[in-house]
Amino acid sequence: MTSVSVIAGPMHRGVKPINCQERIAYPKRDLILRSYEDKTQRSKTLFARAKKVLPAGVSYSIRDVIPYPFYVTCARGAKLTDVDGNVYTDYWMGHGVLLLGHSPKRVMDAVAEQIMKGTHFGFSHELELELADRIVDLIPSAEMVRFTSSGTEANMYASRLARAHTGRMKMAKVEGGWHGGYDSLHKAVHAPFDIPESAGLDPKALEDTLVVPFNDLDSARSALKGEDVACFIVEPVIGAGGFITPEPGYLEGLREICDETGTLLVFDEVITCFRLSPGGAQVFYGDEADITVIGKIMGGGFPIGAFCGRMEIFERLDHRRYPKMQERAFHGGTFTGNPVSMVAGITTLDIIRDGGVHRHIDALGDKMRRGLEDIIDRSRLSASVTGVCSAFAIHFQKEKPRNAREVERNDTETSKAYFSHLLSHNFALVKPALIHCFTGEPHTKEDIEEYLAATEEFFSSYQG
């Protein structure tokens, strides 16, 4: 075992640094976890309670932290404070929702005003038009919009609409693509891609979903050649699967194949829309979808989802035009068009539409990716960096993955050790085996430098 010197840097602001000036040796994960426990005793108590009423003690497995989660009491800008008073720099930013950071003042003020007028009307109101107008304005392929309460629901209704419009029942998706928990799309998210992603999934709901690798036009062409596939659903940049970007010509090629085969091209832009640009991936890459699924950022921190696209397709949702229920595609939901989510979304889109926020967060993203690559170049650890604009991921493998299959080369043990190291330095991220992060408006150059300093410390000292 090799001894290394671990120096506490400026990143330890406001928290008790671990291993400061101490000669320590890897593996030091136990030491790191002990130091985490020392400073999170209240969280530990809450976790003991949580396990009795919430399976695994959490509301979503992705939020689990080993040995137990820290419990957040307050969030402002890019910082989270936990029940023990520890302050974390957040690179998860509410599952990628918080482009403007936690509790941005303009959004909070608009929401506070709305709450006094009503939180949930259950009838039509002008705010839903206002948000729909902005979406149509920003996303080039959007002519009509319907709202949902989550990205999962939006994908479910979008695929139903694609089936209704084309009269075809099959769908195609890519390996590693995550579209939420809707049965028909909850397939081939994790390697080996051919076993069920969950207990309780109905195999009949999955059998019409075809799966192809990302960045592979030949496979897409052969999946769609029977001209019996309603839609090809793809994230323009693979998100949870490791922020993998499309190779030049890939999205354009999909567009062509879909046009040739009468298949609708659906972009799941739940992560990329309003992140890669105010108009999302379609403005950033210049390729247009028939149906676009959105969510996250456009709710301004409140629950939301939506699907939008060409009028000719969306008219299929119109019960006046299609009074027979077997001819129209149903969509609805109690909280659909919720006024609080609408106001938060309107305010957010008004703030970001001129591109100023994007210039800032993209510059931070560039600085982060360049800094990480530089550290990796100087290290004997094999790693690579993916991502674009304000999203970055670190893979402990030499070659940058070009699809989810290649992500499987990631050395997850090293990734988990890196995650624990960053947690001990009070960086809040997910997920230990595949770290993927977002920069947001409140992050500063100094935040990035602190993250890079902690990373440098890990890369120069980790011995496996």
Ligand X SMILES: Cc1ncc(COP(=O)(O)O)c(C=O)c1O
Q: Using CB under 6 A as the criterion, which residues of the chain lie in contact with ligand X when the complex forms?
A: 95, 150-152, 155, 178-180, 235, 239-240, 268, 270-271, 295, 305
| Least gap, CB of 310 to ligand X (angstroms) | 21
104 vs 151, beta carbon nearer ligand X? 151
322 vs 335, beta carbon nearer ligand X? 335
178 vs 459, beta carbon nearer ligand X? 178
| Least gap, CB of 49 to ligand X (angstroms) | 25
**CA gap 258, 221 in Å, rounded:** 9
Q: Which spans in 141-228 are helix H?
A: 151-166, 203-206, 217-224
**CA gap 344, 461 in Å, rounded:** 44
**CA gap 92, 370 in Å, rounded:** 19
What DSSP letter does each residue of 50-73 carry, written as one string?
HHHHSGGGSSSGGG--SS-PPPEE
Strands, E assignment, 290-342: 291-295, 305-309
209 vs 420, beta carbon nearer ligand X? 209
| Least gap, CB of 147 to ligand X (angstroms) | 12
Closest residue to ligand X, judged by C-beta, is 151
- Residue 122: exposure state from Cβ atoms within 10 A (0-12, 13-18, ≥19): exposed
> Which residues lie closer than 8 Å to 53 by C-beta, 6 or more apart?
none
CB atoms within 10 A of CB 408: 15
| Least gap, CB of 280 to ligand X (angstroms) | 12
AA letter at 382: S
| Least gap, CB of 150 to ligand X (angstroms) | 4
| Tokens encoding 32 | 């790191």
Q: What angle do CA 145, 151, 152 make, to 5 degrees?
A: 120
**CA gap 96, 283 in Å, rounded:** 19
| Least gap, CB of 301 to ligand X (angstroms) | 13
Closest by alpha carbon to 456, among 14, 15, 17, 7?
7
295 vs 440, beta carbon nearer ligand X? 295
**CA gap 338, 340 in Å, rounded:** 6
235 vs 450, beta carbon nearer ligand X? 235
Strand partners, 273: 277
**CA gap 73, 82 in Å, rounded:** 5
156 vs 372, beta carbon nearer ligand X? 156
Closest by alpha carbon to 439, among 425, 429, 424?
429
125 vs 431, beta carbon nearer ligand X? 431
Q: What is the largest CA-CA distance in the chain?
A: 74
| Least gap, CB of 136 to ligand X (angstroms) | 21
254 vs 375, beta carbon nearer ligand X? 254
* 348 CA to centre of own chain: 18
* 416 CA to centre of own chain: 19
43 vs 148, beta carbon nearer ligand X? 148
155 vs 414, beta carbon nearer ligand X? 155
| Least gap, CB of 326 to ligand X (angstroms) | 28
**CA gap 404, 102 in Å, rounded:** 31
CA distances from 85 to 33, 39, 67, 121 (A): 18, 9, 18, 38
| Least gap, CB of 153 to ligand X (angstroms) | 7
9 vs 181, beta carbon nearer ligand X? 181
